[in-house]
Amino acid sequence: MPRRPSTHVDDPVAVGERLRKAREAASLTQRQIAFDGCTAAYVSRIEAGARVPSLQILHQLAKQLGVTPEYLATGRPDGDELSAELLEAEVALQLGDENRAAELYETAREEADSRAALARAQLGLGQLALHRGDIPEGIALLEEALASGELAPGDASTAANALGRSYVGLARFDEAFALFERFLDQARARGDRFDEVRFALLLANTYIDHGDYARAHATLGEVLHLARETIDPKLRASLYWSQSRVHVSQGEPDRAAEYARLALATLRASEQTLEAARALLLLAFIENDRGNPEAALELVDEGEPIVVASAARETTDAALFTIERARALSALGEGDEAAELLLGVVPSLNAAAPRDAARAYCAVADIFRKEGDVARALELYELAVEQSPVPSSRAVAAALTAMAEIYEERGDAQKALELLKQALAARSSTTV
């Protein structure tokens, strides 16, 4: 009996040609895009038009090549076309035109003719709200978009990534754990090794922020082989970055620097400039901790312009670069400039990243204390403790220790002892 023609592709020869062009555009070999169930030889036969790949294989190949399965199967760019407003809104957001993007996303939400279109608009508006620092609104919109169940897998992963990171920034760790674990389980169930690595890394970093380094190590170990095998350099770099943070948390700055430099080298090679800037930020943090302010300043000078110029307008990243610049300047004797920078950056961090706002308060308090304004320093140390979303951060431990020293200098031994006990408790379970 003759084989029934496949209906999920337009033409086997055309599929093979599109696959070959997409692979060559990505500068990948047939062996590099092969995976379990789809050998390099099978890829070769698909490209020759001699085999019709299954939907599952098309989805995996498309993900590796950065195209849609619909494009490989039929030549159409997307099986679920965006409305004109959504398409233009997404372009505007990527180019940094936030006002135009907001207008278009609102129009798309008002005129949505399906639950899927509404969810896409909510996703865009949620991302936009986060970019603008309106974290509660961003979280609410992303939660609605995900709860609808109408987002395509790629969009759902994007929403979960942004939503989970926002939870972590507000120390809503239980919600972040649940979200990342759910998406990790889903990725494993559908055999999506890219999302498996992505959400394992997000989960590991959340464990680090929560102070659970053993579980972070275990989670990283589960995907280490996948990250090493993956052709996506951004995911490999994310693994190095996570390992660097583990070593920072455990007081091993040399090992942390080694992994951070591996991440940076990987990202530079792949032209993932924004992620490379984040690796530079981590390196600057490490160099400041190691007492190398000149090196930290050079790293800030290299990475900060990338973030500032980014179409994504990553305001939190820009603020974190400012903190590291100020820390370096303070160590180099430029206390006035450092204090001005830190006080200027705190408002942008209070809601979006309260843990980092606490770091900024502690750093500027150190400057005022060094300059002899102990009363002002004490106020800022207290703000650092109040602002931190968790009672066991490094900033809290440092602020409490400094406050104890100030009260001891004033002769209030009882208050100093009380603060030292609190500092010891904070330090014993400190997070990054």
Q: What pLDDT score does 432 carry? A: 46
Q: Are residues 62 and 85 in the same domain?
A: no
Average of pLDDT values for 359-369?
91
The sign of the CA dihedral 358, 360, 364, 370 is: positive
268 CB burial (10 A radius; 0-12, 13-18, 19+): middle
Q: What pLDDT score does 19 carry? A: 92
Query: Looking at the predicted structure, is the pLDDT value of residue 204 above 60?
Result: yes
Q: Are residues 85 and 39 in the same domain?
A: no
The answer as to whether 315 is a domain residue is: no
Q: Are residues 90 and 70 in the same domain?
A: no
Confidence of residue 392 (pLDDT cuts 50, 70, 90): low
Q: Are residues 87 and 66 in the same domain?
A: no
The answer as to whether 46 is a domain residue is: yes
Q: Among 116, 151, 186, identify where a domain stops.
A: 151
The residue ranking higher by pLDDT, 320 or 351, is: 320
Average of pLDDT values for 304-331?
81
Q: What pLDDT score does 164 carry? A: 96
How many structural domains compose the chain? 2
Query: Looking at the predicted structure, is the pLDDT value of residue 171 above 60?
Result: yes
Average of pLDDT values for 361-371?
91
Q: How far apart are CA 230 and CA 35, in angstroms?
A: 10
Q: What pLDDT score does 12 carry? A: 84
Q: What is the CATH number of the domain that holds 63?
A: 1.10.260.40
For residue 375, the tally of other CB atoms under 10 A from its CB is: 10
The one-letter amino acid code at 35 reads F
Q: Are residues 46 and 99 in the same domain?
A: no
Tokens of 330: 């303070």
Torsion of CA 84, 55, 224, 22, to 10 degrees: -60
Q: What pLDDT score does 428 carry? A: 66
Q: Which of 124-133, 259-268, 423-432 holds the top average pLDDT? A: 124-133
Query: Looking at the predicted structure, is the pLDDT value of residue 321 above 70?
Result: yes
CB 140 within 8 A of CB 181: no
Q: What pLDDT score does 163 carry? A: 96
CA distances from 325 to 7, 304, 322, 339 (A): 59, 9, 5, 11
Tell me which residue range forms the domain holding 104: 81-151
Average pLDDT, the chain: 82
Closest CA to 197 of 165, 160, 156, 229: 229
Q: Are residues 59 and 95 in the same domain?
A: no
Coil, helix or strand at residue 38: strand
Q: What pLDDT score does 378 carry? A: 94
Is the backbone of residue 411 left (phi > 0), alpha (psi -120 to 50) or beta? left
pLDDT > 90: percent of the chain = 31
Q: Are residues 56 and 114 in the same domain?
A: no
Average of pLDDT values for 11-40?
86
Average of pLDDT values for 177-197?
85
Query: Looking at the predicted structure, is the pLDDT value of residue 256 above 90?
Result: no
Q: Among 151, 174, 198, identify where a domain stops.
A: 151
Q: Are residues 108 and 55 in the same domain?
A: no
Q: Are residues 61 and 87 in the same domain?
A: no
Rg (CA), the chain: 24
Tokens of 112: 């949505």
Average of pLDDT values for 257-286?
72
Query: Looking at the predicted structure, is the pLDDT value of residue 296 above 50?
Result: yes
The answer as to whether 159 is a domain residue is: no
Q: What is the CATH number of the domain that holds 104?
A: 1.25.40.10
Query: Looking at the predicted structure, is the pLDDT value of residue 40 above 50?
Result: yes
Tokens of 104: 């278009």
Query: Looking at the predicted structure, is the pLDDT value of residue 263 above 90?
Result: no
b (16+ CB within 10 A) / e for 102-119: bebbbbbbeebeeebbbb
Confidence of residue 233 (pLDDT cuts 50, 70, 90): low
Q: Among 126, 151, 176, identify where a domain stops.
A: 151
Which residue's structure tokens are 């609190």? 422
Q: What pLDDT score does 127 carry? A: 92
Helical ranges in 230-292 per DSSP H: 233-249, 253-270, 273-289
Average of pLDDT values for 402-425?
91
Q: Which of 62-66, 80-84, 380-384 holds the top average pLDDT? A: 380-384
Query: Looking at the predicted structure, is the pLDDT value of residue 301 above 90?
Result: yes
CB 10 within 8 A of CB 53: no
Containing 140, the helix (H) or strand (E) segment is: helix 135-147
Q: Are residues 85 and 146 in the same domain?
A: yes
Q: What pLDDT score does 5 carry? A: 44
The answer as to whether 209 is a domain residue is: no
The answer as to whether 43 is a domain residue is: yes
pLDDT digits (tens, 9 = 90+) for 207-222: 888 878 788 888 877 8
Q: What pLDDT score does 273 carry? A: 63
The answer as to whether 131 is a domain residue is: yes
Confidence of residue 24 (pLDDT cuts 50, 70, 90): confident
The residue ranking higher by pLDDT, 230 or 401, is: 401
Q: What pLDDT score does 3 carry? A: 42
The answer as to whether 310 is a domain residue is: no
CB 293 within 8 A of CB 328: yes
Confidence of residue 173 (pLDDT cuts 50, 70, 90): very high
CB 415 within 8 A of CB 407: yes
Q: Are residues 109 and 94 in the same domain?
A: yes
Q: What pLDDT score does 162 carry? A: 93
b (16+ CB within 10 A) / e for 131-147: bebbbeebbbbbbbbbe
Closest CA to 60 of 160, 193, 152: 193
Tokens of 400: 């409490």
Tokens of 51: 């085999």
Confidence (pTM): 0.55
Q: Which long-range contacts (CB under 8 A, 24 or more apart) does 74-83 make?
A: 74/9, 74/10, 75/10, 75/14, 75/18, 80/116, 80/152, 82/120, 83/108, 83/111, 83/117
Query: Looking at the predicted structure, is the pLDDT value of residue 410 above 80?
Result: yes
The answer as to whether 122 is a domain residue is: yes
Query: Looking at the predicted structure, is the pLDDT value of residue 103 above 60?
Result: yes
The residue ranking higher by pLDDT, 269 or 318, is: 318
The one-letter amino acid code at 291 reads G
